Amino acid sequence: MTITPKKLGSVDIEILCRFLSQNCANQGELSKEIQVFSRQFIAELRNFGQKAVRKINNQQTLATSFILGCVALFSACTGSNSTAVIATPVSNNGVAQVWVTTADKSKLLAQEADVAIASSTDNSTIINVDATEAYQTMVGVGASFTDASVYLMQNKLAPDARQAIIQDLYSKRGIGLNFARLTIGASDFSRSHYSYDDVPRGQSDPLLNNFSLDPAKSDLLPILKLALAVNPDLKIMASPWSAPGWMKTSYSMIGGTLRPEFYRAFANYLVRYVEAMKAEGVNIFALTMQNEPHFSPTNYPGMVVTDAERANFFANHLGPLMAARLPNTKIFEWDHNWSEPLAATNVLADSEARKYVDAVAWHCYGGSPAAQTQVHDAYPDKDVYFTECSGGQWDTNFGSSLEWQTSNLIIGTMRNWAKGVLFWNLALDEKFGPHLGGCGDCRGVLTINSETGEVTKNVEYYVLGHFGRFVAEGAKRIKSDSAIDGIETVAFLNPDGGRKAIIVLNTNGRTHNFTVRDRAKNINYSLPANSVATIVW
């Protein structure tokens, strides 16, 4: 009997998905009929997935995630060039490819019709792109594997749904995230207060005899290993919210400062963490010594570390120790807001500290991205990374969040030298948790319903996707005009033989016509109000 895609129902979809999941590694053993059928089935399943997304008001459910995960699985297993809802950009002479997200959610990373590259234009808004003028080399974008995020992914998703979501987030057939952040011990988005070396109150452990990664083994490490299996090149940085309580004046993860007699122990603690994670197959790309060192929260872990104290710690403790034991792991300074650029320059002014610091990391909760250039211009040999910002219920309007985040967190940070961009929680539940304290209405890149396992892709997913899907690690940011007639841009040259990508934001309250001009090539496009496009050519 000949099976055709038109005859399939939901049960058949599940059966075939599970069959290929179990047999994909043995592709050569699949019957020719199944391989041919699977290739045919991709197109029909893709259409079904797109209709399902539209039908439920663009909030992708667990079931739809499963369907789209199957599309990616079929493509990989059968060698098909067809892909999931977000098609893979391909080199195509004479045309540009375009993906759009609109403020009204009628299009969500939707591929539009190819645009013919013209020799001329009648548009008055011209965005010139010049690949001969290049800036920083890009690492990528992503979000943080907070304890809340990995708890939800590990405990509230079925295995198939978990794998589908990881594929969607970290593969180039999804949105291509390739940068991540971990918390070293508890943060505000944890379910309990802990470090990786806890001892009873009144005791200390300067030799770290009680150090253990056990708290990471139930949720964090399994999810990390799934992500690394999908994207082995994932760059992972890590930040502590606090030293272990016994090292601090407060004898607690909350409040207090690092006691001078434990500077060496804290440096050893951070190095031990990196070494222990490596033993688990997780390479730590970079460390900061303290998340938000100028802030002392009252109901979740935190620790104030002054500029002078950070300089001392880098110069005399962490820097020499990492140079000896972890020469390939980078040290990032600051890891706090744009509003205090002098905090970073105060540390970098110390010549001994400066020689160990590789980059300055920034958060969004005060100031503007221009602070990144201020410090970069003073110390151009130090890289720039943007390492935290959260969306939340203070802005529930998809369109305004799309515009602000794209303008500030993608275009703004990258035009101000950021090599990588990280959003905060990868996933939170419908109550904006779990969390210990602090922000009670922060939003994750995903929302995972704690009762049903339903997955909703929030605006942050699409903002990240407009970069991660189309700009590879190693790409160069290149010159592009911006802030012209309400059009903002950032452009890149990929390391794949010359393919370029530009992210375009229309901040106008109306559709705007513009032209991207790359020497003699003109790409004419009309972008809806307050919407985002990625154009690839």
CATH 3.90.1170.40 given to domain 139-470: no
Q: Which residues contact 126 (CB under 8 A, 6 or more apart)?
A: 481, 484, 514, 515, 517
Tell me what the mean pLDDT of segment 272-280 comes to.
Answer: 99
Alpha-carbon distance values, 20 to 29, 30, 35, 69 (Å)? 11, 9, 10, 12
Q: Would the pLDDT of 280 be above 70?
A: yes
How much is the pLDDT for 85? 41
Confidence of residue 88 (pLDDT cuts 50, 70, 90): low
DSSP 298: S
Region 457-474: mean pLDDT is 98
pLDDT for the residue numbered 498: 80
Going by pLDDT thresholds of 50, 70 and 90, the confidence category of residue 91 is low
Mean pLDDT for 273-298 is: 98
Neighbours of 411 (CB within 10 A): 23
Give residue 456's pLDDT: 98
Position 532 scores a pLDDT of: 99
The distance in angstroms from the start CA to the end CA of the chain is 44
Confidence check: pLDDT of 68 > 80: no
Helical residues (DSSP H) of 335-452, grouped into ranges:
341-348, 351-354, 370-378, 398-405, 413-415
- The residues with which 446 forms a beta bridge, in sequence order, are 427, 457
pLDDT band at 66 (very low <50, low <70, confident <90, very high): very low
Tens of pLDDT, residues 206-260: 999 999 999 999 999 999 999 999 999 999 999 999 999 999 999 999 999 999 9
The overall average pLDDT reported for the chain is: 89
* pLDDT for residue 52: 42
Q: Give the mean pLDDT of 192-216.
A: 98
CA geometry: angle at 449 spanning 447 and 452, to 5°? 145
pLDDT digits (tens, 9 = 90+) for 114-142: 999 999 999 999 999 999 999 999 999 99
For the chain, the domains span 5-78, 95-136+477-536, 139-470
pLDDT of residue 402: 99
**Per-residue model confidence (pLDDT) at position 93:** 74
The CB-based long-range contact list for 271-275 (8 Å cut-off, 24+ gap) reads 271/318, 271/321, 271/322, 271/325, 271/326, 272/196, 272/208, 272/211, 273/184, 273/196, 273/213, 273/238, 274/238, 274/326, 274/329, 275/325, 275/326
User: What number of CA atoms fall less than 13 Å from residue 200's CA on the CB side?
Assistant: 0
Please indicate whether the domains covering 95-136+477-536 and 139-470 agree at the CATH topology level.
Answer: no
CA dihedral 241, 247, 252, 257 (to 10 degrees): -70
Mean pLDDT, residues 41-53 = 45
Using 50, 70 and 90 to split pLDDT, how confident is the model at 54?
very low
pLDDT at 494 over 60: yes
Look at residue 113 and tell me whether its pLDDT is greater than 70: yes
Task: Kindly tell me if the per-residue pLDDT of 5 is higher than 60.
Answer: no
**pLDDT band at 89; cut points 50, 70, 90:** low
DSSP 364-396: SSSS-THHHHHHHHH-TTSEEEEEE--EETT--
pLDDT of residue 9: 45
pLDDT at 83 over 70: no
**What is the predicted pLDDT for the residue at 17?**
52
How far apart CA 504 and CA 523 sit, in angstroms, is: 12
User: Is the domain defined by 95-136+477-536 classed in CATH 1.10.1040.10?
Assistant: no
pLDDT score, position 55: 37
Question: Alpha carbon 454 to chain centroid distance?
Answer: 21
User: Between helices 62-78 and 159-170, what is the axis angle to 10°?
Assistant: 70
Backbone dihedral angles phi then psi of residue 14, each to the nearest 5 degrees: -65, -45
